[in-house]
Amino acid sequence: MAQLSKDDEVFGALIRVEEATARAAALVAAVAETEIVTLAQADGRVLAEDVVAGLDLPPFANSAVDGYAVRFEDLSVTGETRLPLSGRVAAGTDAAGTLAEGVAVRVFTGAPMPPLADTVFMQEDVLLDGGFVVLPQGLKRGANARPAGEDIASGETALKAGRRLRPQDVAALAALGLTRATVRRRPRVAIFSTGDELTEPGIPLAPAAIYDANRTLLAALVARAGAEVVDLGILRDEPVSLAARLTEAAASCDLILTSGGVSTGEEDHVKAAVESAGSLVFWRIGIKPGRPVAVGVIAGTPFVGLPGNPVAVFVTFAFVARPLIARLAGADFTPPLGLPVRLGFPYRKKEGRREYVRVSLTLGEDGVMVATKHPRDGAGVLTSLTQTDGLVELPDDWTSITEGTLAPFYPYAALIG
């Protein structure tokens, strides 16, 4: 989009992205309701309470390798040690009766450590000599042995409330012997698209009509953010019905999310509808693509109106709406970490506006990743998202950027959860 006028002349003073997310987050609290789910249902859910370990993990001292368990005091400090081989302990068997005093005990990975044994030699390092083993010098006390509670000690907080569970977290719950988790209810997010030009996919297009891609995009993004999608269809450009539909959605949902109709055009009615049905907190953010993002409250329910172009929807959802949904869900939210890449292009931008450029990465000759800008960077070009690897962030105070500059890169996977 080529704009000759200054942003503040058209939109008024723009607020920074961090201020926008903080002010939006201040409008909401986490949903109060909780529910108990099975571990098969727990991935992606937000823990409502701390998980305290009821046992040690591992629950008993065990061998980390296939080898020979010994008592460290029986080892020579000056050279090899020759010990008689006595006993054998496999994983899942009891080590009682295999006292490791003055002998070596054959053990396998995961097997309980024999009484008095505290060190394990890997089988590859040991020589067998009839009924004896020859052990090399140099192994430290406790080598290749895993003590009880090495991972998690009984009584320790294994997972804190507010964690959005991942597969590895669910595995930790299972390892502690749990079968269920107490999680917060998923926030209900109402999504609308706005515009008289929009048509549902599958229906023949009328002249000057386009298919509604934004609602499909938002539904997928909202679901990945851990919320329940309430798809309320397309809102037409009619101020009275817009306000009524928004108020109706506020009665049954925790957040209202729309796309389109929040700019300064004569047919952009969403901003006015929000002001009619509730209150508008802000609607101008120093972000590109994006900028007109309306945030307000309707009948006590937070409202976020994203721009109408799909790339702007994606970017503003990632940096404004996603943190808000995380707060609603009761989840601890850490902004994604931008990894430095080298820009393979020069760039000019306006001061006071953060820009996100769609790029593809290649590995440079020096081993540093190089970002190449997509050739078609309009906010309505969906292929600029589907044919690239992520976004490069150009900070607010940068204006003239030279090729070779290092800039933060966000892979798409980090932005959509």
Encode pLDDT of 101-139 as tens digits: 999 999 999 999 999 999 999 999 999 999 999 999 999
Segment 356-363 mean pLDDT: 98
Q: Is the pLDDT of residue 7 over 80?
A: no
pLDDT for position 3 = 47
Instruction: State whether residue 63 is helix, strand or coil.
Output: strand
Percent share of the chain, pLDDT over 90: 81
Domain with CATH 2.40.340.10 in the chain: 339-416
Paired residues of 336 in beta bridges: none
391-403 b/e (C-beta count within 10 Å ≥ 16 → b): bbbbebebeebee
pLDDT for position 299 = 92
Domain with CATH 3.90.105.10 in the chain: 34-56+157-184
Looking at 162-171, 285-294, 378-387, which range is the least confident one? 285-294
pLDDT band at residue 264 under the 50/70/90 scheme: low
Which fold, 7-33+186-328?
Molybdenum Cofactor Biosythetic Enzyme; Chain A (3.40.980)
Nearest 5 degrees, angle CA 8-CA 12-CA 17?
A: 85
pLDDT for position 360 = 98
Domain with CATH 3.40.980.10 in the chain: 7-33+186-328
Q: Is the pLDDT of residue 331 over 50?
A: yes
Q: Which of 10, 6, 124, 143 is nearest to 64 (CA)?
A: 143
pLDDT for position 266 = 47
pLDDT for position 5 = 44
Domain with CATH 2.170.190.11 in the chain: 62-146
Query: Domain 62-146 - what CATH class?
Result: mainly beta
Instruction: State whether residue 120 is helix, strand or coil.
Output: strand
* CATH of 339-416 given 2.40.40.20, 2.40.340.10, 2.40.420.20, 3.90.76.10: 2.40.340.10
Task: Pinpoint the alpha helices (H) of 71-207.
Answer: 167-175
Cα dihedral sign, 222-226-232-237: negative
Query: Domain 34-56+157-184 - what CATH class?
Result: alpha beta
pLDDT for position 271 = 76
Distance CA 253, CA 31 (A): 11
Q: Which of 189, 190, 193 is nearest to 261 (CA)?
A: 193
